[in-house]
A and B are shown apart, each in its own frame.
Chain A
Amino acid sequence: MANEVIDQPENHPDIDTAVDCVFEPFILGIFCNWCTYTGCDQAGTSRMQRPANLRVMRVMCSGRVEPAMVLKALKSGADGILIGACHIGDCHYVSGNHKTVRRIPLISKFIKQFGIDPNRIWLRHISASEGVELTEIVHEYVNILKKIGPNSFKKKK
């Protein structure tokens, strides 16, 4: 399958033009209730437009994001997973996000060993008032995922 090489964009200097127009990356956002989910609501209330690639799943704290969930989403074909947490020091549960910032890089390392681009998992700190930041991050993530190309686990429709 040609899919394997797509995960290394540097092998395909022209890949962004190749997939740009057809490929709409599927991003699963896993956002903590208190900061990023609220920030995402704020982006909506302020009508900040972004590309239609982000689906949002709510957890109470980013500390709830368990590796099995992330891997499951990747295995099921999500192109990118955006984990949204409070800034360090702001976690509603004091230190849930401290655990997240240790845990998520480990998963990234792990998937890299399986040949999956570590960019498929992003952890970002977005506060309840940072709708602008969230919007910018989604724009940026969509662009990067378009360069990386579709997740090779994605089922052929």
Chain B
Amino acid sequence: MAIVNLQDVTYKYPLTEEPAIRNIHLQVEEGEFVAIVGPNGAGKSTLCYTLSGFIPHFFKGELNGTVEIAGVETQKSSLDEWVLNVGLAFQNPFNQISGSKFTVYEEIAFGLENIGVPRGEMKARVEAAMAMTAISDLADRSPYSLSGGQQQRVALTSILVMEPKVLVLDEPTSQMDPIGTREVFQVIKEMSARGMTVILVEHKIEWIAEFADRVIALHNGEILLEGTPGEVLTSPLLPERGFGISRYTSVARTASGQGLWPGDRRLPITLQEAVDGFARDRK
């Protein structure tokens, strides 16, 4: 059975008229890597908050339909129990630092202290998590003295150490430079490889193409397209509806209009695909 199960979910924030997401049906299998794309205001963050329990428990408002993760329904659970199953990380690394800890090591232990993990086990888990995300050398630094990419890895580690069943990531690299982005994706890839269920909102299309099992395109609060990265990310519908797409896709689309890219070949998403595709014709 799917670990994430959304049935006909519609949600309205308090003090608003229009729902921010509507009629969402979504099933995610255990261990699957699902990416979500969409233009600004499409409802991506709203969907992330719904999955991670902050809707309705933190934001209040009006939630209809059923949101079920690991067999528990959000309306029948409380936020402090829900977060044990679903981990959430988001854009701004600075705001994700608890602010109450003086070192990275303590910062990562914060969540485990909150759920009463005994000290010996706590240390073992913190150290294992830091090794996994390659931040062991930052252990004694102040979380505020780090670069954005390092801070974001600390934020991710702080969530991972709690061993959630599902990891929800809302544009975790949008404030990172290319180096930071690479560092963060390394961690996400590692988690996915270890069998964690990952739901990722991301604008950097090429990274999605590389990692995701499935892509969901969200538009105006509704699911517009759903399928493999190859199908969804090259769909002509995306640029028409204001989605950002890979520049290689758009170059190849222009090229195919002029007969330079065969109509029966899938448009490329990454640089590598584009190079391979064009090179094949030169031979």
A-B interaction: no
- Chain B residues proximal to chain A, CB less than 8 Å: none
List chain A positions with a Cβ less than 8 A from chain B.
none
